[in-house]
Structure 1
Amino acid sequence: MIRSLASLIRSSLPHTRLPATVYHRLAHPRTLNTTMSSKAPDLDKIESAKRKAAFKAVEEHFNSSMRFVGIGSGSTIVYGVEAIKAHLEKNPPPPNHMNWFVPTGWNSRKVIEQAGLLPIAFDSLPGDALLEVCFDGADEVDEDLNCIKGGGACLFQEKLVACRSKKFVCIADYRKDQKRLLTNWPSIPIEVAPIAHASVLRELRLIGSPDAKLREHSLAKTGPIQTDQSFYIIDAPFKTLLSPLDEKNGSRADGKDGVWSVDTLAARIKQINGVLEVGLFHGLNGAQAQAAGMQGGQRPVAVYFGLEDGEVMVRRAPELEK
Structure 2
Amino acid sequence: MTGELSPIDKAKFVAAKRAVDYVEDGMRVGLGTGSTAAWMVRCLGELVRDDGLRIRGVPTSTRTAELARQVGIDVISLDEAKWLDLTIDGADEFDENLNLIKGGGGALLQEKIVATASDRMIVITDAAKEVAQLGSFALPVEVIPFGWQTTKALLEETLINLDVLGRETSLRMNGDAPFVTDEGNFILDLHLIRIGNVRQLALVLNQIPGVVENGLFIDICDIVVIGHGDGRVELRDINEGTVQEDKIDFLDNDNMFSDL
Structure 1 residue 316: Cα displacement: 1.6
Equivalent position of 2:122 in the other structure: 169
Equivalent position of 1:51 in the other structure: 13
What do the CA deviations read for 1:257-296 (whole angstroms, capped 9, x no partner)? xxxx11000001011001110000003xxxxxxxxxxxxx
Equivalent position of 1:76 in the other structure: 36
Identity %: 33
Structure 1 residue 43: Cα displacement: 7.0
The answer on whether the counterparts of 1:101 and 1:117 sit within 8 Å (CA) in structure 2 is yes
Equivalent position of 1:196 in the other structure: 147
- Report SS of the residue matched to 2:173: coil
Equivalent position of 2:186 in the other structure: 232
Structure 1 residue 210: Cα displacement: 3.5
Consecutive unaligned residues of structure 1, counting only runs of 5 or more, are 6-41, 243-260, 284-298
- Report SS of the residue matched to 1:194: coil
Structure 1 residue 90: Cα displacement: 5.0
Give the TM-score normalised by the residue count of structure 1. 0.69
C-alpha spacing 1:272/1:192, structure 2 compared with 1 (3 Å): same
What do the CA deviations read for 1:196-243 (whole angstroms, capped 9, x no partner)? 3112211221123541011112x32xx10000000000001124123x
The answer on whether the counterparts of 2:99 and 2:217 sit within 8 Å (CA) in structure 1 is yes
Consecutive unaligned residues of structure 2, counting only runs of 5 or more, are 161-165, 244-260
Equivalent position of 1:212 in the other structure: 169
Give the TM-score normalised by the residue count of structure 2. 0.85
Q: Which amino acid aligns with 1:211?
A: E
The answer on whether the counterparts of 2:26 and 2:56 sit within 8 Å (CA) in structure 1 is no
| In structure 1, distance between residues paired with 2:156 and 2:225 | 35
Does 1:141 pair with 2:94?
yes
Q: How does 1:234-273 map to 2 (within 5 A)?
A: 234-242=188-196, 261-273=197-209
Does 1:300 pair with 2:221?
yes
Q: Which amino acid aligns with 2:169?
A: A
The answer on whether the counterparts of 2:49 and 2:72 sit within 8 Å (CA) in structure 1 is no
| In structure 1, distance between residues paired with 2:64 and 2:150 | 31
Does 1:314 pair with 2:235?
yes
| In structure 1, distance between residues paired with 2:167 and 2:10 | 37
The answer on whether the counterparts of 1:64 and 1:91 sit within 8 Å (CA) in structure 2 is no
Q: Which amino acid aligns with 2:201?
A: L
The answer on whether the counterparts of 1:52 and 1:312 sit within 8 Å (CA) in structure 2 is yes
Q: Which amino acid aligns with 2:168?
A: D
Q: Which has the higher contact order (CA 8 A, sep 6+)?
A: 2
Q: Note the aligned Cα RMSD (angstroms).
A: 2.1
Q: Which amino acid aligns with 2:218?
A: H
**Correspondent of 2:23 among 38, 62, 69:** 62
Greater share of residues in strand: 2
Q: How does 1:21-170 map to 2 (within 5 A)?
A: 44-59=6-21, 61-66=22-27, 68-93=28-53, 99-125=55-81, 129-170=82-123
Structure 1 residue 154: Cα displacement: 0.6
Does 1:278 pair with 2:214?
yes
The answer on whether the counterparts of 1:100 and 1:117 sit within 8 Å (CA) in structure 2 is yes
Q: Which amino acid aligns with 1:188?
A: L
- Report SS of the residue matched to 2:183: coil
Q: How many aligned residue pairs are there?
A: 236
The answer on whether the counterparts of 2:172 and 2:178 sit within 8 Å (CA) in structure 1 is yes
The answer on whether the counterparts of 1:301 and 1:320 sit within 8 Å (CA) in structure 2 is no
The answer on whether the counterparts of 1:174 and 1:308 sit within 8 Å (CA) in structure 2 is no
Q: Which amino acid aligns with 2:199?
A: D
| In structure 1, distance between residues paired with 2:84 and 2:235 | 22
